Amino acid sequence: MSTDERQAISGRAERSARSAPPRGGPPATPPIGLQLSRTARAVTNAFERAMAEAGGSASAWQVLVLVRAGQWGTQAQMAEAMGITGATLTHHLNALEDQGLVRRWREASNRRVQQVALTDAGEALFDRLRDVAMRHDQRLRSALSDKEVAQLGKLLDKVRAGVES
């Protein structure tokens, strides 16, 4: 085992010992997962409320962003980009199509490929929801300095990498 590996293991053990609860008592600090979960829930709920007030939803916004970007060749690729199943994306697209926000058609050269585009009403909703999303992001950043925003991003990336490895 290399010196770097021993130091990494030792550092993890020290961090674990610092956050380990005293015998029979609560942890010295709240578990990171709990803090992340509570924060994510609060941020998500605030975003959902803001989107609803503007006539949309977070899921509709995600679909509109991907459709507007036009970089997703198939619905399967779009679903993967959103982290949802193809069936769930189809449900969202059906709802948006029923509301007149998107239109779908099959390519003449390959009937298996379905294209999606925003309608004029979809473009208008996109613009409204983009303003909401930008205000929401500004609200999240308002209590942090630029340096803290960068640090938070790096820390969240490290936490995610730790659970994905």
CATH class of 32-164: mainly alpha
Query: What confidence score (pLDDT) does residue 14 get?
Result: 53
Cα Rg, the chain, nearest whole Å: 22
| 64 contacts 126 by C-beta, under 8 angstroms | yes
Taking only the tens place, the pLDDT of each residue in 49-86 is 999 999 999 999 999 999 999 877 677 888 888 889 98
Label residue 3 by pLDDT band (50, 70, 90).
low
What local confidence, expressed as pLDDT, does residue 113 receive?
A: 72
Cα–Cα distance measured from residue 68 to residue 58, given in angstroms and rounded to the nearest whole number = 15
The pLDDT of residue 22: 59
pLDDT in tens, 82-106: 889 989 999 999 999 999 999 988 8
Rounded-to-integer distance, Cα 143 and Cα 150, Å? 13
Q: For the chain, give every domain's residue range.
A: 32-164
β-bridge mates for residue 104, sequence order = 116
The share of the chain scoring above pLDDT 90, in percent, equals 63
Alpha-carbon 14 to chain mean position: 32
pTM of the predicted structure, to 2 decimals: 0.74
CA 30 to chain centre: 24
> Highest-confidence range of 4-13, 108-117, 136-145, by mean pLDDT?
136-145
